[in-house]
């Protein structure tokens, strides 16, 4: 049986929405059980947001995807587990450990305890993630970008004083309102893409770049030494989806990240930042929203084939249509 292999670079919540749509679309295109072709999705996930907190390894983006695709996420809040309680968090606060502004729910803590236990038993993060996914059955193979930690820290100015804080502190505690001077990938020089990630890129039929944060999700994945080279060497077409629509980050604060690295918050600027694969970058094709159709000829001039399609992922149906457009764009190369 032939399996079409789709490999997706992804961050947390935006990545999860896109992957959910892709899973739906591929199930439509390749209904199981008919003895014909099937499809396999592999997500290469940002681990730059990971941290040790209250003695536990927390992997926000991997968990966002695992919960969302496994049906355990809180749809209303937009993150974490559904039906969550916070009794343990209150105990941790009483002991004065953890981050009071980064609440770990009781059910969510179960995941972090299990993961930390696997890691202590000597499993790699890739293996630990696979074990967690045995329970959640997300229908997508989740691969951390690297088994070596490479956490994103941010250089900020608070009350005139320079501080270097974990990305989540800037993002959650400061809501990205304090200007970031730069992002640092702590330990990235010792990190490498896992063999599983390299295999998934090398053997993919299509590589998609999800509409995730271009700096602290996709940018972090691309920052792992060897990742760009692997993508540039892939035999599959690489299609990216813009996380920016009409000059805004759609949801969230990605504009603050782009400003920090001197890239405009536009679909065209992000595409040029990723660059055309024919000119040393990673993109063959780029999808912009129909409202940004005017940039198509500009980007074509930069060597990036560009198509304008609806990019809003308001529900699984619209995400599935978008994922279908990305697959078709890859085929039409």
Q: Which residues bind Ca ion (CB under 5 A)?
A: 11-12, 49, 61
Q: Which residue is nearest to Ca ion (CB)?
A: 12
CA distances, 66 to each of 131, 135, 211, 253 (Å): 12, 10, 17, 22
* Cβ nearer to ligand GDP, comparing 243 with 281: 243
Q: Is 215 in the site for ligand GDP (CB under 6 A)?
A: no
Q: Is 152 in the site for ligand GDP (CB under 6 A)?
A: no
Distance (Å, rounded) from C-alpha 15 to C-alpha 21? 10
Tokens linked to 160: 């005139």
* Cβ nearer to ligand GDP, comparing 80 with 211: 211
Tokens linked to 101: 């502004």
* Cβ nearer to ligand GDP, comparing 11 with 149: 11
Query: At closest approach, how far in Å is the CB of 252 from ligand GDP?
Result: 4
Distance (Å, rounded) from C-alpha 135 to C-alpha 112? 14
Q: Is 265 in the site for ligand GDP (CB under 6 A)?
A: no
Q: Is 217 in the site for ligand GDP (CB under 6 A)?
A: yes
Q: Are 218 and 46 in contact (CB under 8 A)?
A: yes
Q: Are 32 and 38 in contact (CB under 8 A)?
A: yes
Query: At closest approach, how far in Å is the CB of 243 from ligand GDP?
Result: 3
Closest CA to 193 of 239, 167, 231: 231
Query: At closest approach, how far in Å is the CB of 47 from ligand GDP?
Result: 11
Q: Is 324 in the site for ligand GDP (CB under 6 A)?
A: no
Instruction: Tell me, residue by residue from 28 to 67, as one string, x for binding to ligand GDP by CB under 6 A and - for no binding.
Output: ---------------------------------x--x---
Q: Are 237 and 6 in contact (CB under 8 A)?
A: no
Tokens linked to 268: 């065209």
Among 212, 266, 302, 306, binds ligand GDP (CB under 6 A): 212
Q: Is 211 in the site for ligand GDP (CB under 6 A)?
A: yes
The residue with tokens 């509409």 is 211
* Cβ nearer to ligand GDP, comparing 92 with 254: 254
* Cβ nearer to ligand GDP, comparing 179 with 247: 247
* Cβ nearer to Ca ion, comparing 12 with 193: 12
* Cβ nearer to Ca ion, comparing 213 with 285: 213
Which of these segments, 117-125, 145-153, 196-204, 307-315, binds ligand GDP (CB under 6 A)?
Answer: 307-315
The residue with tokens 């343990």 is 88
Q: Is 312 in the site for ligand GDP (CB under 6 A)?
A: yes
- Cα 145–Cα 264–Cα 63 angle in degrees, nearest 5: 30
HEC string of 116-165 equals HHHHHCCCCHHHHHHHHHHHHCCCCEEEECECCCCEEEEEEEECCEEEEE
Among 7, 8, 15, 299, binds ligand GDP (CB under 6 A): 15
User: Which among Ca ion, ligand GDP, none contacts residue 98 (Cβ within 5 to 8 A by kind)?
Assistant: none
Closest CA to 11 of 150, 152, 212, 149: 212
Q: Is 249 in the site for ligand GDP (CB under 6 A)?
A: yes
Tokens linked to 52: 């040790």
Q: Are 329 and 239 in contact (CB under 8 A)?
A: yes
DSSP 48-72: TT-EEETTEEE-HHHHHHHHHHHT-
Query: At closest approach, how far in Å is the CB of 166 from Ca ion?
Result: 12
Size of the site for ligand GDP (CB under 6 A): 24
Among 120, 251, 279, 333, binds ligand GDP (CB under 6 A): 251
Binding site for ligand GDP (CB under 6 A): 10-15, 61, 64, 211-213, 217, 241-243, 245, 249-252, 254, 311-313
């Amino acid at each position: 049986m032939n399996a079409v292999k789709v490999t997706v670079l992804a961050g947390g919540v935006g990545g999860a929405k896109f992957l959910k749509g892709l899973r739906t679309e591929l199930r439509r295109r390749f209904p199981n059980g008919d003895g014909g072709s099937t499809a396999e999705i592999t997500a290469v996930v940002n681990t730059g947001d990971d941290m040790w907190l209250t003695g536990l390894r927390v992997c926000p983006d991997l968990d966002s995807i695992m919960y969302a695709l496994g049906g355990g996420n809180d749809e209303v809040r937009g993150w974490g587990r559904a039906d969550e309680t916070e009794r343990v968090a209150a105990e941790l606060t009483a002991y004065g450990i953890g981050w009071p502004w980064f609440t770990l729910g009781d059910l969510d803590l179960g995941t972090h305890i299990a993961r930390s236990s696997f890691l202590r038993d000597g499993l790699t993060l890739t293996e630990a993630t696979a074990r967690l996914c045995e329970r959640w059955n997300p229908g997508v193979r989740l691969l951390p970008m690297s088994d070596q930690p490479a956490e994103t820290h941010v250089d900020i100015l608070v009350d005139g004083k320079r501080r270097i804080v974990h990305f989540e502190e800037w993002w959650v505690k400061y809501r990205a309102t304090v200007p970031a001077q730069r992002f640092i990938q702590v330990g990235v020089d010792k990190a490498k893409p896992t063999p599983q990630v390299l295999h998934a890129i090398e053997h993919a039929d299509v590589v998609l770049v999800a509409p995730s944060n271009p700096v602290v999700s996709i940018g972090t994945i691309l920052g792992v030494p060897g990742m760009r080279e692997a993508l540039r060497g892939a035999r599959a077409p690489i299609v990216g989806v813009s996380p920016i629509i009409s000059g805004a980050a759609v949801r969230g604060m990605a504009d603050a990240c782009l400003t920090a690295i001197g890239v405009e918050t536009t679909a065209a600027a992000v595409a040029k930042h990723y660059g055309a694969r024919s000119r040393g970058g990673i993109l063959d094709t780029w999808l912009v929203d129909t409202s940004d159709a005017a940039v198509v000829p500009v980007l074509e001039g930069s060597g990036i084939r560009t198509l304008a399609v609806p990019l809003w992922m308001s529900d699984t149906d619209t995400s599935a249509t978008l994922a279908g457009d990305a697959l078709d764009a890859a085929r039409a190369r």
